[in-house]
Amino acid sequence: MFDHVTLGVSDFQKARGFYNRVMPALGLPLLWENSTMLTYGAGNEVFGLQLDGASPRRGTHVAFRARDRESVNLFHSEALAAGGIDAGAPGIRPEYHESYYAAFINDPDGNRIEAVFHDTKK
């Protein structure tokens, strides 16, 4: 069901120090990082932390696994029809990887939700 979950942080270095100790205790090592993101996990399930600019993200980010590109497209159109706010139309996100097909929505409470299909057939 879930591809990944991301929480916002207000102090990136403090969060890094904390989670670099806590997550390995659960068998979830640091998989990758950049200047604003940390990702921990095992296999295809990951947990992330992100700093957006100088302030923490509002709400939680949850990415749901989709069956195919059509499901991602349907998720996006249905979410908009139900009152969601577009936060990224369906498409390839090469900044994550070359087959990452996703769409992003802010729900009525401001939570960030995503549908993602890891399209390996390209």
Domains plus CATH for the chain? 2-56 (3.10.180.10), 68-118 (3.10.180.10)
- Which residues does the chain have with pLDDT short of 70? 52-59, 109, 122
Overall pTM > 0.85? no
| pLDDT given for residue 22 in this prediction | 85
31 residue type, one letter:
L
In the numeric block, the tokens 């996006």 are attached to 76
| pLDDT given for residue 30 in this prediction | 95
| pLDDT given for residue 31 in this prediction | 94
Q: Give me the sign of the Cα torsion angle 12, 13, 18, 19.
A: positive
